[in-house]
Amino acid sequence: MSVHLTVNAPLGSYDSNSAVNTGTNRWAFYPLVNLDITPDKGVSWIDLYAAGRFFTNNNAFQGNNQLSQNPLGIFSAFYSHNIGKRWYAGIGASYDNGGDTYINGISQHDAANGFRPSISISRARTIWKYRLTFRYELTGTRPTASPTNSVLSLRTSVPLF
């Protein structure tokens, strides 16, 4: 079991008159608790996650407007199984709920309420001590009028010690 906290600071420049910005001009906090269960001494894994995203207000949103956002809850469960000594394959699902945004107190009706299935495959020590992970995630259910999206990612990781 572990506990994590990610803090995103509003660093960099922010143009309150531009509709497109690389930053958000607000703080974000992302606490996460996870539990890893291995019923067969590390051959397979069950990973359970509970997290939340919390945001401060942006008081310079597109001029002098205020952007605020409710907390977003995220719950995930994954199962992975080792294939030999260097590969694993996994399946999982995440559920997001909340996060509705408001501009000057008026709801934008964009709260998350969706299920996201995913699959992944990974190979350890492909190049030196690196791990490469290929993952695909798809929006399974969503609120009406929300866009469907999918994520295809290739991740690289390396041990620090």
| Confidence check: pLDDT of 12 > 70 | yes
pLDDT of residue 141: 60
The per-residue pLDDT for range 65-121, each reduced to its tens digit, is 999 999 999 999 999 999 988 888 999 999 999 999 999 999 998 888 888 899 999
Q: What is the DSSP pairing of strand 65-69 with strand 101-103?
A: antiparallel
Structural domain of residue 47, as residue ranges? 2-157
Count of structural domains within the chain: 1
Confidence of residue 127 (pLDDT cuts 50, 70, 90): low
Total-model pTM: 0.78
Q: For the range 12-20, what are the long-range contacts, defined as Cβ-Cβ under 8 Å and sequence gap of 24 or more?
A: 14/60, 16/60, 16/61, 16/62, 16/63, 16/64, 17/62, 17/63, 19/62
For residue 8, give both structure tokens: 């995103």
Confidence of residue 142 (pLDDT cuts 50, 70, 90): low
| Confidence check: pLDDT of 4 > 80 | yes
What is the 3-state composition of the chain as percent helix, strand, coil, each rounded to the nearest 5?
Answer: 0, 60, 40
Query: What is the CB neighbour count within 10 angstroms for residue 65?
Result: 13
Q: State the distance between the two ends of the chain, measured CA to CA, in whole angstroms.
A: 21
Instruction: Kindly state the DSSP code that residue 146 receives in the 8-state scheme.
Output: P
Burial of 56 (0-12, 13-18, 19+ CB in 10 A): middle
For residue 131, give both structure tokens: 């791990």
| Confidence check: pLDDT of 143 > 80 | no
Per the model's pLDDT, the better-predicted residue between 71 and 143 turns out to be 71
| Confidence check: pLDDT of 161 > 80 | no
The per-residue pLDDT for range 22-62, each reduced to its tens digit, is 778 999 999 999 999 999 988 999 999 999 999 999 999 98
